[in-house]
Structure formats: C-alpha cells, structure tokens
Amino acid sequence: MSFLQILWFILIGVLFSGFFFLDGFDYGVGMAVGTLAHNEGERAQIIQTIGPVWDGNEVWLITAGGAMFASFPYWYATLFSGYYLILLFILVGLILRGVSFEFRAKSPDEKKPIWERIMAVTSFLVPFLFGVMFISMIKGMPIDAAGNMHAHFFDYFNWFSIVGGIALALLTYLHGLNYITLKTKGPVSERAQNYAHFFYWVLYLGEVIFALLLLFQTDFLAVHPIATLLCLVLIVGFSVWAHAATFANKQGHAFTASGLTLVSLVALIFCGLFPRVMISSISSKFDLLIQSASSSNYTLIVMTIATVILVPCVLAYTIWAYWIFRKRIAMPRIGVTD
C-alpha cells in the first residue's frame, strides 16, 4: 500500500462524509416536508430552507462516485454492479427527488402536493437504501475470485442492513430537523425542535441495536478493536451532544453535532474496512484490498494535484453561498409586503 492509495481511501471517506453531512440534512428536510409541516405555507417554508443549496450538496455524491471510479476502479466496478437493484432504486429516488424541486416550483398550486409527497418519500428512500447498501457491505458479500459479486435478496436485506438503513434515515431526519430549527423561525422551528427531542430517544435505541449487531455480525471488533469502539463512542457521544443542545436551545451546536454523528458513522465504516475496500463472505482471499483495487500511481498523482487545487475553491464558494443565504426563513405571508 502506497501513501497515495491510503490518502485516496481517506479522501473517498471524506467525500462520503461531506455527502452525508450536507445532503444528509436535505433528506431530513425532505422527509420533514411530509411529516413536520401542517399546511402549504409551512411546506413552502421548509422547502425554501434548502432551495438554493440542495443541488450543490448532491454534487458531493457525484464527486464521491466519480472519485471512486477514478481512484479505485475495481471497488467501483464490484460495488456498482453488485448492488444493481439497490442502486437502481437509489437512482430513481434521486431523479424524482431532483426534479421535484423545480417541477413543484413551476406547477400550479393544486399539483404542488404531488411533488411534495414525492419529495418526502424519496428523501426517505435514498438514505434508507444507502444505509442498507453500506451496512450489508461491511457484513461481507459473496464476492468471487474475479471480484464479481453474486448476491441474493437476503444478502442485501437482513436484520443488520435494515436496522442500518433505518438508523441512517433517522440520523438524516434528525439532522434535517436540527437544520430546520436553525434556519426557520415561528411554529415550524419550535415543532422541529420538539420532534428532535423525541426522536433522539428512538435513535439511542437504534444505536444500541446497531452496535450489538455490528459487534456480532462483522469482524470490525476483531480487526480494529480500538478504532471501532472509538467510533461507536463518538456516534453515541455526538448524538447525546446534539440532543442536549436541542434542549439548551443551542441550534448551531445541535446541527453541527448531528452532522458529526453522520461523519462518525462513515468513519466507522471506513476504519472497519481498512485495509480492505470490500469484504468477501466467500473467502477472505477474495476481499478487495486498497492495494489491488486502486488506480495506477500516475492517475493518483494527477487526481491529487487536481484535488489540492480545486477543493479549496469549492469549499470557499460553497461557504460563501451559505453565507449569502444565512438569514432565517420566516413563514411566507402571501400578499403581505414587509
């Protein structure tokens, strides 16, 4: 394993962390459109919190996918062809969700609820399926000597992966609630806070079950005991911090902490995988390793140079955009100019 290979393994993890931190609250906000709002005005208010930024957040996923293709083509090939149907439904979810913002905005009022419902359902579907995918992946999938995965339904869907999917969806939902609390004022903001108070109790339960399943269903504890336990502690710790912050009315803290919970989950997955990228349930000889799944050294150098130049720019204008849209959003009052 070369330095660049390890660097890119970490960078893929960073890109997925960025995706879950940023697009994560978009999914939560999307789910909240269906669960938190009481009327059309509130739904509009909630959607407006992410209107200008969700598209940029989703690019983190596209970048993660592209970077995986470029830096670990064998990982990309095995993962994407192996999780065919799950990715198909993730794509359907992303497509419908992606057009729902623009189509809703341009639709007549009576048709807006259709797009809002689509937004809510797909915003749940996508993180749920990502959870199922990543969690079944760390359990190990039937990967043969040629690196091809031939999995059956119960390889994808089992107790562990379903708990993982629900936990991830719940995490993004809570992250979205914290974001709404932070970005709105009025009844929506207070309600989001109350919902968060409640759902964190559910999350703790989910986290305990998830941790137990992780310890028994994966080899993470055996391979990397300290890192695994540390990540689990971080996940729970950030959840508690976020929960406490919602009570203390420290909305920025709550949002940061829920984001970091998601980042810790990604860290847990990547730490546990190391030095593998995919685990074969047939034989550990067929595991995909960082060392053998990566691109050539030359490609990694080219990619590293581009990343070093471009990522600071991306971060700079992304932060600038968030700063421009920094104000809280009040409930829209139609016909009133203030």
Partner 1 sequence: MSIVSLARFQFAMTTIFHFFFVPFSIGTVFVVAIMETLYVRTKDPSYKKMTKFWGNIFMLSFAVGVVTGLIQEFQFGMNWSDYSRFMGDIFGAPLAFEALLSFFIESTFIGLWVFTWDRVKKGLHLFFIWMIVFGTITSALWILTANSFMQHPVGYTIRNGRAEMADFGALISNPQLIFELSHVLMGALLTGATIICGLAAFQLLKKRQLSAENKKIYHKTMRVGLWLMLIFSLGSIGAGDMQMQYLIKEQPMKFAATEAVYKTTKSPAPWTVVGIANPKTHQVNGKIEIPGVLSLLSYHKLSGSVEGMDEVNAQLEKTYGTHIDGHKMSYYVPVNTLFWSFRVMCGFAALMFLVALVGLITTRRGKETLYNHRWMLWVIALMTFSPFLANTSGWLITEFGRVPWTVYGLFTIQQSVSPNVSVASLLTSNIIYFVLFASLAAILVALIVRFLRNDPVEWDAAQADKKATDPFAKGAF
Supply 154's token pair.
């119960």
* Nearer to partner 1 (CB atom), residue 76 or residue 238: 76
Report the residue from 6, 7, 107, 121 that binds partner 1 according to the rule CB under 8 A.
107
Q: Kindly state the smallest distance separating residue 49's Cβ from partner 1, in Å.
A: 8
| Cα–Cα distance measured from residue 330 to residue 185, given in angstroms and rounded to the nearest whole number | 5
| Cα–Cα distance measured from residue 68 to residue 100, given in angstroms and rounded to the nearest whole number | 28
Q: Kindly state the smallest distance separating residue 17's Cβ from partner 1, in Å.
A: 16
The dihedrals phi and psi of 141, each to the nearest 5 degrees, come to -125, 155
Report the residue from 153, 154, 216, 298 that binds partner 1 according to the rule CB under 8 A.
298
Q: Kindly state the smallest distance separating residue 34's Cβ from partner 1, in Å.
A: 20
Q: Which stretch binds partner 1 (CB under 8 A): 168-176, 185-193, 275-283, 322-330?
A: 322-330
| Cα–Cα distance measured from residue 1 to residue 292, given in angstroms and rounded to the nearest whole number | 9
* Cβ contact 265:131 at 8 Å: no
**Which residue bears the tokens 């000597």?**
145
CA atoms 189, 193, 198, 204: torsion sign? positive
Q: Does 334 bind partner 1 (CB under 8 A)?
A: yes
* Cβ contact 111:181 at 8 Å: no
* Nearer to partner 1 (CB atom), residue 222 or residue 336: 336
Residues 18-47, mask of contacts with partner 1 (x by CB under 8 A): --------------------------xx--
Supply 203's token pair.
């999350």
The dihedrals phi and psi of 293, each to the nearest 5 degrees, come to -90, -5
* Nearer to partner 1 (CB atom), residue 73 or residue 237: 73
Supply 120's token pair.
């809510």
Q: Does 222 bind partner 1 (CB under 8 A)?
A: no
| Cα–Cα distance measured from residue 115 to residue 103, given in angstroms and rounded to the nearest whole number | 7
Question: Which region, left, alpha or beta, applies to residue 235 given φ > 0 means left and ψ of -120 to 50 means alpha?
Answer: alpha
Q: Which stretch binds partner 1 (CB under 8 A): 154-162, 168-176, 279-287, 305-313?
A: 305-313
Q: Kindly state the smallest distance separating residue 176's Cβ from partner 1, in Å.
A: 17
Q: Does 85 bind partner 1 (CB under 8 A)?
A: yes
C-beta atoms surrounding 338 within 10 Å: 4
Residues 237-256, mask of contacts with partner 1 (x by CB under 8 A): --------------------
| Cα–Cα distance measured from residue 61 to residue 57, given in angstroms and rounded to the nearest whole number | 8
* Nearer to partner 1 (CB atom), residue 281 or residue 318: 318
Total length of the chain: 338
Q: Does 333 bind partner 1 (CB under 8 A)?
A: yes
* Nearer to partner 1 (CB atom), residue 27 or residue 210: 27
Q: Does 141 bind partner 1 (CB under 8 A)?
A: no
**Within 142-181, which residues bind partner 1 (CB under 8 A)?**
146-150
Report the residue from 171, 203, 242, 303 that binds partner 1 according to the rule CB under 8 A.
303
Q: Which stretch binds partner 1 (CB under 8 A): 27-35, 60-68, 244-252, 253-261?
A: 60-68
